[in-house]
């Protein structure tokens, strides 16, 4: 899931921005690994078409999307960011919440 490497970012030149880890604070994006856009999991027994779409299709939105990031040079936590893909402006970062039903009565 490590799709952006430090070499990629350095060779891209202008692709640099700051991300705020919910645990550690603001760091250069090179501290983090990109985990891809957040997509909803298919139901328990998906059809092959649903499974294929989940595995291989991305919206690749031009604008604000929710995505997974991993603080690989820090606390090694996974967290969620809302980022405008056209400007790399990060609107928020947060730790993921427990799935619904976890610990529920
Ligand atoms: Zn961290």
pLDDT digits (tens, 9 = 90+) for 17-28: 999 999 999 999
Specify the pTM: 0.74
d(CA 17, CA 32): 11
Q: Is 66 helix (H, G, I), strand (E, B) or coil?
A: strand
Q: Which residues of the chain have pLDDT under 50?
A: 1, 104-105
Residue range 6-94 forms a domain whose CATH class is alpha beta
d(CA 67, CA 76): 16
| CB-based contacts of 105, cutoff 8 Å, min separation 6 | none
Ligand 1 centroid – CA 92 distance (Å): 15
Q: What is residue 105's predicted lDDT score, i.e. its pLDDT?
A: 44
Q: What is residue 8's predicted lDDT score, i.e. its pLDDT?
A: 58
CB 78 within 8 A of CB 69: yes
Which sequence spans correspond to the domains of the chain? Answer: 6-94
CB 35 within 8 A of CB 96: no
Ligand 1 centroid – CA 50 distance (Å): 34
């Amino acid at each position: 899931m490590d799709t952006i490497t430090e070499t990629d970012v350095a060779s891209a030149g202008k692709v640099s921005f700051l991300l705020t880890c919910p645990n550690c604070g603001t760091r250069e994006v090179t501290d983090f690994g990109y985990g891809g856009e957040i997509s909803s999991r298919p139901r328990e027994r998906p059809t092959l078409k649903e499974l294929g779409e989940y595995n291989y299709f991305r919206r690749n939105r031009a604008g604000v999307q929710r995505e997974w990031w991993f603080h690989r040079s820090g606390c090694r936590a996974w967290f969620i960011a809302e980022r405008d893909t056209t400007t790399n402006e990060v609107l928020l970062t947060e730790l993921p919440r427990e799935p619904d039903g976890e610990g529920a009565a």
